Structure formats: structure tokens, C-alpha cells
Structure 1
């Protein structure tokens, strides 16, 4: 997906300054005990599905939209896993961002996993016992939380 218009409009006003956005992460599980991952086109690493909340959009609706846009998998949200601020980051063009990320546990209800946009080069279901090595510690934590039916959402306090 190209950069959303609302971000381009903001960038026209603020340039490369730090932009605060709401991010979304989806941990999508299937009935075979696998997690859905995408290989990112920008850096080549495997990751959970992620995206940006559009103005006026509800977070749970948005994460389902992002999952379908990126992977063609239809999912439903089970629960909120975490609310946390990610460290500031910079893109190659100089744009700086920081995200308040909402991570959700989801389950697949339809569709076939496939590359469905230009944000990824591969989409695949991974067995939980053989995850790719390049998942970040945060992504491993999100997966662990999704697998724990009793763990409450994480809200970092410091």
C-alpha cells in the first residue's frame, strides 16, 4: 500500500519532523497451531502483520483490514494484547515516526494466505515451534501473549 493520504498531507506541513501515529499489530493464529507472518518488502525480514490506524477508524476493524489487505486472510479479533509506545524510527527518506501500537490476537476465518499488496514479498503460516530467527523480541512477546488465554493486556507503566 502506498503511504496513506492523511500522512502525505501532514508531511506536506511538517516535513520530516517526528510524526506520532497509531500503529496496529495482528497476531493471526489458525487451527493448525500456526502464526501468519509476512516477509517485509522494505527490509526482507519476517514479521507480524502491521499497519496504521486511519483517521476515524476503529482499531479492531483496522487490524482486520490490514490483515486482509496484506495477506488475503480474513480474520476476526479475539482480544487486545498490548498497548505500548515504540521507539522513534526514521525512514530512508528522512521521515521520522513514533507509534502508539495496539497489538491484537486474531484467528483466521477464511481466505488463502498470499502476498496481496506491495508491502511484502512472501506470506506464510509458520509452526509455532519453528519461527524464523529474524522476528523481533517484541514480536515474540506478542505471540506468547496471544497463546496465553489468561494473560491480561500489557500496558507499560515506565
Structure 2
């Protein structure tokens, strides 16, 4: 794999809108709360996940990003949905259409990060009907999908 792929692309095209492939993992605890990470770049919340590196699959990127963003080793239970609409505007001026594969995951090892990293300020489980300020509309769509398709309503 070639790490730093996105940085190399951005060095060539600047802030021009581009299409990027991303992967995200969804973990629910026994209370049906979702694990979110507080991002260092925007200081809001998102599902653990990120860009695919060149040569990486959506599944491998999800496993790698879950470890980087949360500290957890995960097993993918199943793909949930592919999200591919709209633009994401980043604080630095970058614009991208992110095509994100969302996976349902379960922890199989590791432990939640207990320190700040380059990408994660903190981690917390949140009720799906009481979410904090999210990174963007795509995060909202993924969590709405989870509410609709994964949670049993009485």
C-alpha cells in the first residue's frame, strides 16, 4: 500500500473538487449506542473511518481506520450501505464527493484510546436519537440509516 495517497493527490490538484473513496465502521454497544470519535480537525463527531489508500479495499480500510481512530481491533459483521451523494467541504478549503462504504463491526481486541492522537480527541458512545454535532450531512445519513435499519423499535 502507498500511504499518503490523498496528500499526494491534493498536492497536484489543490482544493479542486475530487471524488474520494472512504470507509466507516459502526459499532453499537448493548444499549444500542453508537461509538463516535471527536475529531481533532473540526472538533465535532464522526464514525471512525477514513480514506482508502491506493490498493486498499473498503473492508481493509475500515479495519485499519477503526484501529487508528478508536484503538479497537474489529471484525466486520457485514456491509450496511454505500453512501455516494453530495459534497463534503473541509475546513482547509478542500471539496470532495466522498463515496463511503459503511460496515457494521464488532470489537475483537484492543481498547478504546485513552489519549489524544493526530485524528481523535476523544471517544464516546451516543444514543442514536441524541447525537452530538456531526462532521457533515453524510455522517447524519449514515446514522439515520443505522436508526432505521439496525434498531428494533417497540
TM-score, with length taken from structure 1: 0.77
Q: CA deviation at 1:123?
A: 1.0
Aligned to 1:155: none
Aligned to 2:122: 122
- Listed as ranges, the matches of 1:61-80 within 5 Å are 61-80=60-79
Structure 1 stretches of 5 or more lacking a match?
Answer: 150-158
- Contact 1:78 / 1:106 at 8 angstroms: preserved in 2? yes
Give the length in aligned residue pairs: 145
Distance 2:143 2:50 in 1: 18
Q: Which string of whole-angstrom CA distances, capped at 9 and with x for unpartnered residues, describes residues 18-41 of structure 1?
A: 121101111013456442211111
- Contact 1:113 / 1:124 at 8 angstroms: preserved in 2? no
Seen in structure 2, the aligned counterparts of structure 1 residues 103 and 122 have a Cα distance that, compared at 3 Å, is same
Give the alignment's Cα RMSD to 1 decimal.
2.4
User: What is the aligned counterpart of 1:141 among 133, 140, 144?
Assistant: 144
Seen in structure 2, the aligned counterparts of structure 1 residues 21 and 129 have a Cα distance that, compared at 3 Å, is closer
Distance 1:41 1:11 in 2: 20
Structure 2 stretches of 5 or more lacking a match?
Answer: none
